[in-house]
Amino acid sequence: MALWVFGYGSLLWNPGFEVAEAAQASLPDYHRSFCMRSIHHRGSEAEPGLVLALDEQPGALCEGLALRAVDGTEEATIAYLRERELVSSAYLEKMLHVDLQDGRRVEAVTYVIDAAHVQYCGGLPLEEQAAIISRAVGGRGPNTEYLYNTAAHLDELGIPDAELHWLRDRVRHLVDNDLA
């Protein structure tokens, strides 16, 4: 059985596993937002950054990519994703249905935020998000790099995300003017 993974953030530009097929897809009832404090990859415990997570929101629709792992690599892919995504247990691994742009519907491994977890920070004002992102650095690099790469790949795919693009522009302004 094919293993599909739904990518909405860094999986868009750095899946980390061999992809046999990538298709634009949408996930109903979830919203992509910077609602998770990052204490490992894009921030530290002393100065957390922010990373994207899927926050459950009835009526919302998150557009991203469905990525199909190469046949025969399913176990290795899941092991890799769990090591990468479940490092602090702030994400929950769920099998959710996503709708592919070509009309297919597939079940995909999807990492969504645990709203009860201490790293959850849904509802932060965008200006506060921008200030955090502009200065945080973690084990995988600056928080700005994460934001810029995600925005660039959404642009390449033609996927609009007004909130994320506002953050990109605001963070660039803060960094360029050392206002962080």
Domain of residue 108: give its range: 4-176
pLDDT at site 87: 83
Q: What is the pLDDT of residues 126-152, one digit of tens each?
A: 999 999 999 999 988 999 999 999 999
**CB contact at 8 A, 49 and 144:** no
pLDDT at site 145: 96
Tokens 């995909």, residue located: 108
Q: For 163, phi and psi rounded to 5 degrees?
A: -65, -45
pLDDT at site 180: 52
Q: What is the CATH number of the domain that holds 95?
A: 3.10.490.10
Annotate the chain with DSSP letters as a single string: ---EEEESSHHHH---S-EEEEEEEEEEEEEEEEEEEESSSSS-SSS-EEEEEEEEEEEEEEEEEEEEEPTT-HHHHHHHHHHHH-SSS-EEEEEEEEEETTS-EEEEEEEEE-TTSTTB-TT--HHHHHHHHHH-EETTEEHHHHHHHHHHHHHHHT---HHHHHHHHHHHHHHHTT--
Tally the domains of the chain: 1
pLDDT at site 12: 93
Which portions of the chain are predicted below pLDDT 50? none
Let me know if 85 is a catalytic residue.
yes
Torsion of CA 73, 78, 79, 84, to 10 degrees: 120
pLDDT at site 46: 92
Q: Which of 80, 84, 72 is nearest to 10 (CA)?
A: 84
Q: For 33, phi and psi rounded to 5 degrees?
A: -155, 160
pLDDT at site 88: 83
Catalytic member of 56, 85, 145, 156? 85
